[in-house]
Structure 1
Amino acid sequence: MKILVIVTHPNIEASNWNKSWVNELQKHDDITIHELYKEYPDENIDVAREQQLIEAHDRIIFQYPLYWYSTPPLLKKWFDSVLLYNWAYGPEATKTVGKEIGVAISAYGTEESYQANGSNRFTMEEILRPIQALTRFISAIYLPHFVLNDTSDVTDERLTQSSIDFVNHIKTVRSAEVVSK
């Protein structure tokens, strides 16, 4: 399985978690790392190149910090620019059919804060519904997400374990949709 991780962190060099995840990903030759903010600092997305990357991979993981309960702005622009009519959706669209799509996010809040009775009032599953809906709309398969909560609690041990867990997750995660086929 060919895995593409699309990293979208506006300031990856200042990130403990996302940078650590990328460093761990770099140890794996079977994973392609694609950092949008480094690739497109001017935010002028090369649509053809991005579509070729998607076509060349079976599993696409969007890695980003939770950003105002959503994605960073460049990832939203990427969705709008790359996932085009009759390429990703529409009567002649075939390029994303059956692709596996997942999300790996880091969130400042604790796991408890992402509950109906928590300070954020919504679960992570609810917050990620737009990505799940997008995935279904383009006839792809949504994978269970990977989330790291409480990112203010940074220790070397936690960074290391989180990075190992992240890579293991994206290599082994299975969707109920995939299993049921």
Structure 2
Amino acid sequence: MKKTLIVVAHPNIENSVVNQRWINELKKYPDQFTVHELYKAYPDGRINIESEQRLVEQHESLVLQFPIYWFNCPPMLKQWLDEVFLYGWAYGSTGDKVKNKKMAVAVTAGIGLADYMTNGRYKFTLEEVLRPFEITIKYVGAEYIPHFAFYGAEHNPSKEVINENAEAYVKYLARLTCSEPATNN
């Protein structure tokens, strides 16, 4: 069975509505998804590099899940990328551990989709904001899958909208392994 590792980086997951809902939906499919919450795994900020590398190696594909945080990722995810994606492991002449893996980012944005338009409030699309992740993924030889997003998280979205989005997230992730998630009956 092909399995996807979801690396969740949310510094305040207890107060997150959308990221928590995504995690709960993913946990319905333990045979397909491993949910790995960085801030819970490393409350002291000291990442076990070898353990993280083994975890990545054990999975067919990888998703970085996080809230947009000052138009970037939360600090622990940046630290994780810096410390885990090392020369000789992730890239370089002998670094091939993520080569050809499918990789994606799944993000929650506090502001609405209209704000992430070239004519919107911030003048940049979410694709442009996430470009460093796309470049990083391609740099290590992985296959970049365009992002998945929830827009308007800070505008008190309805439970129905959040639930529909969580279900759509699982369907999106099924593309990474080219298999549909098992029904949860």
* TM-score normalised by structure 1 residue count: 0.93
1:92 to 82, 91, 94: 94
Offset at 1:173? Answer: 5.2
Partner of 1:167: 170
Structure 1 match to 2:156: 153
Residue 174 of structure 1 deviates from its aligned partner by: 8.3
Give the Cα–Cα distance (whole angstroms) in 2 for the partners of residues 17 and 108 of structure 1.
10
Give the drift of 1:153: 3.3
RMSD (Å) for aligned C-alpha atoms: 1.3
Return 5+ residue gaps in structure 1 as ranges: 176-181
Inter-partner Cα distance in structure 2 for 1:51 and 1:78: 10
The code of the aligned residue for 1:5 comes to I
Match of 2:182 in 1: none
Pairing of 1:1-181 with structure 2 (within 5 A): 1-29=2-30, 30-151=32-153, 152-172=155-175
Deviation string, structure 1 residues 77-112 (Cα, Å, up to 9, x no partner): 000000000110111111111011101000011111
After TM superposition, the runs of 4+ consecutive aligned structure 1 residues lying more than 3 A away are none
CA–CA separation in structure 2 for the residues paired with 1:83 and 1:173: 20
The number of residues matched between the two structures is 175
Q: CA deviation at 1:172?
A: 2.0
Q: Which amino acid aligns with 2:19?
A: N
**1:156 alignment partner AA:** K
Mapped to 1, the partners of 2:172 and 2:73 lie a distance apart of 20
How much has 1:155 moved relative to structure 2? 1.1
CA distance in 1, matches of 2:108, 2:172: 14
Q: TM-score with structure 2 length normalisation?
A: 0.92
CA distance 1:36–1:61, shift in 2 (3 Å): same
Structure 2: gaps spanning 5 or more residues: 179-185
Q: Percent identity?
A: 39
Deviation larger for 55-64 or 146-155? 146-155
What do residues 124-147 of structure 1 show as CA deviations (whole Å, max 9, x unaligned)? Answer: 110111000100111111001101
